[in-house]
Amino acid sequence: MPSNLVSGALGPAKTVVASTIDLASNPAYTLTERYKSYTVGTVDIPEQYSDFSDYLLTNIYIQLPYVGTYQIDTTAAMGGKIQVVYIGDCMTGDCTATVWVMDRFGHSKNRYEWKGNCAKKINLVQTVSFGSAMWGSAIK
């Protein structure tokens, strides 16, 4: 997921105090929006020969980060444009990649939607060392 997706949903930095420890050197950010939309870009799919050979044995695939690789209808996309828009849930990491296929006149011919997840699991663990033994407990 592009970093702009989450950074656009963040509010101002705030100072965090844990017990008596001031964590001012590591400011925390709060979310101002749960869902954020981000237009990744648009790609032209030009016809090279302007005849049947542009379509014969031609396959168009799109690889979307965190979602996967999918095939796009060649007859709908050839000579037109493909636009990719991600909508992300900043709380769960779920994302939806919406792919718009536009013909040469700018009319939307097809729309595809695929779902994925871009969340990173972060374990919060406290470890205590006693000599050669190591004890750990999860922070709840």
Query: 73 lies in which domain range?
Result: 34-138
* pLDDT for the residue 91: 87
In the prediction, which pLDDT does 120 show? 82
- Mean pLDDT of the 26-46 span: 84
* 3 within domain boundaries: no
- The pLDDT value given to residue 20: 56
**SS3 assignment, position 12:** strand
Is 29 inside a domain boundary?
no
101 assigned to some structural domain: yes
Q: Please give the pLDDT value at position 31.
A: 74
- Report the percent of the chain where pLDDT is more than 70: 66
Give the CA radius of gyration of the chain.
23
Per the structure, the count of domains in the chain is 1
Say whether pLDDT at 2 is over 50: no
Summarize pLDDT for 76-131 with one digit per residue, the tens.
Answer: 888 899 999 999 998 899 999 999 999 888 788 778 999 999 988 776 665 555 55
Residue 60 in any domain: the answer is yes
- Model pTM? 0.66
Burial of 38 (0-12, 13-18, 19+ CB in 10 A): middle
Other C-beta atoms closer than 10 Å to the C-beta of 81 total 17
Is 19 a member of any domain? Answer: no
Whether 47 maps to a domain, the answer reads yes
Residue 133 pLDDT grade (very low, low, confident, very high; cuts 50, 70, 90)? low
